[in-house]
């Protein structure tokens, strides 16, 4: 059984746009690069050709990966998300009890995770620990750098 892929509607659109770009832009650019590289002659010592073939393999692998993800997609019902507990699709504000820093995270499926933008996966140590907790609760996270303690300050959509 394939693993389900949880996405917000925004994440689905982003994935579909990437697939469209790969199929309709990058493939064509790569085909042209292959033609140009072939025109240089001897393929056995043609670094441009090797580079274009490697890029072609990467493009085709990513297309296949996205198409497989789209077969197992589950859209997060953003309208039906409750804000009484932390769940996938909620924004959660937490306070680090060690240094008092307040952080805000959007809990998303692993495909959409982007920690630099505050989007953390429900499968990450912090995401997993926060799931199911309510405002005011203390959450202990078993992270690679040791135990972290957070207080849940707010949960929203």
pTM for this model (two decimals): 0.72
The token pair that represents 122 in the structure block: 């429900």
Q: Specify the pairing of strand 5-7 against strand 119-121.
A: unpaired
pLDDT at position 82, please?
A: 83
Kindly give the confidence (pLDDT) of every residue in the chain, 157 residues in length, as a single tens digit, with 9 standing for 90 and above: 567 888 888 889 999 999 999 999 999 999 999 998 888 777 777 788 889 999 999 999 999 999 998 998 888 877 778 889 999 999 999 999 999 999 999 999 888 999 999 999 999 999 999 999 999 999 999 888 889 999 999 999 8
* Domains (range + CATH), the chain: 5-75 (1.10.287.180), 91-156 (3.10.50.30)
Q: Specify the pairing of strand 73-75 against strand 5-7.
A: parallel
pLDDT at position 2, please?
A: 65
Helices (H), the chain: 9-21, 27-38, 47-71, 125-130
CB atoms within 10 A of CB 50: 13
The token pair that represents 68 in the structure block: 């497989």
Contact 152, 92 (CB under 8 A): yes
């Amino acid at each position: 059984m394939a693993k389900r892929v949880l996405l917000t509607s925004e994440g689905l659109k982003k994935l579909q746009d990437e697939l469209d770009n790969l199929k309709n832009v990058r493939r064509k650019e790569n085909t042209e690069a292959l033609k140009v590289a072939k025109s240089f002659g001897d393929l056995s010592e043609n670094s441009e050709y090797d580079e274009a073939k490697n890029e072609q393999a990467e493009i085709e692998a990513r297309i296949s990966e996205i198409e497989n993800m789209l077969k197992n997609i589950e859209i997060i019902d953003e309208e039906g998300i409750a804000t009484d507990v932390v769940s996938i699709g909620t924004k959660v504000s937490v306070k680090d009890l060690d240094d008092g820093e307040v952080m805000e995270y959007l809990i998303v499926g692993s495909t959409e995770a982007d920690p630099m933008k505050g989007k953390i996966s429900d499968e990450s140590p912090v995401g997993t620990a926060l799931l199911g907790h309510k405002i005011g609760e203390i959450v202990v996270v078993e992270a690679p750098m040791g135990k972290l303690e957070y207080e849940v300050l707010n949960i929203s959509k």
